[in-house]
Amino acid sequence: MRSSGFTLIELLVVISIIGILSVMGYANYRDFAANQIAKKAVGQIQTYLRLAQSNATTSTLCNGEGATSWSLKFADPSNIELHCNSSSALKTLNLENATVAITGEGNCTIDIPVILSYKVGSGAQNFSVDNTNTTLSSCLGSSTFTFKVTNIKNPSASPVPFNITKGGAIDVK
């Protein structure tokens, strides 16, 4: 009489293979999740940049009045505020588990707080430093600014860079 079934060795081999695949899958998922935090923050920043630029280009009213400028204030590395006519913040974006750093051409670091404003009617942008202790005229004269968004929950995750040119183009890498 012949019995059917699996031997103990066969079961141990299958369990070992499942364990190895599970460990590899978890490691890949963890890296994927860590990178998604920074990518989500880049998407949020890009949305706010486009909103300010769009509002300025189309001369969108601000609190029922004509706006002279729309701006984003990078108040600290994790908070970005949308302003019009230098008023109080209309919207605030809090980057969850992420921070942003800004550099100009030649890797000169721009200290936060920074204001990126768009002129109404043209959408032309202007960078200014909202910090009297910093003189970065050479940095602010750059034609391209690089923003690096870093995951603070997992510092080993790669930062996500994106560039903004003075013409208003946003290049996410």
pLDDT of residue 140: 64
**Higher-pLDDT residue of 47, 171:** 47
Report whether pLDDT(155) > 90: no
Domain ranges of the chain: 11-172
Name the 3-class secondary structure at 72.
Answer: strand
Q: What is the pLDDT of residues 99-126, one digit of tens each?
A: 888 887 777 777 778 888 887 776 666 7
What is the average per-residue pLDDT within 150-160? 79
**Higher-pLDDT residue of 120, 44:** 44
**Higher-pLDDT residue of 38, 128:** 38
129 and 120 in contact (C-beta within 8 Å)?
no
Question: What confidence tier does 6 reach under pLDDT thresholds 50, 70, 90?
Answer: confident
Question: Phi and psi (nearest 5°) for 88?
Answer: -65, 165
User: Mean pLDDT score of the chain, rounded to an integer?
Assistant: 80
DSSP conformational letter for 107: G
Number of other residues whose CB lies within 10 A of the CB of residue 15: 10
Q: What is the pLDDT of residues 120-148, one digit of tens each?
A: 776 666 766 665 444 455 666 667 788 88
pLDDT of residue 110: 78
For the chain, give the percent of residues with pLDDT over 90: 8
39 and 57 in contact (C-beta within 8 Å)?
no
DSSP conformational letter for 140: H
Residue labelled with tokens 């670091």: 109
- At the topology level, CATH places domain 11-172 in minor pseudopilin epsh fold (3.55.40)
Q: Measure the CA–CA gap between 39 and 97, rounded to whole angstroms.
A: 11
pLDDT of residue 133: 43
**Higher-pLDDT residue of 2, 12:** 12
Q: Measure the CA–CA gap between 156 and 55, rounded to whole angstroms.
A: 37
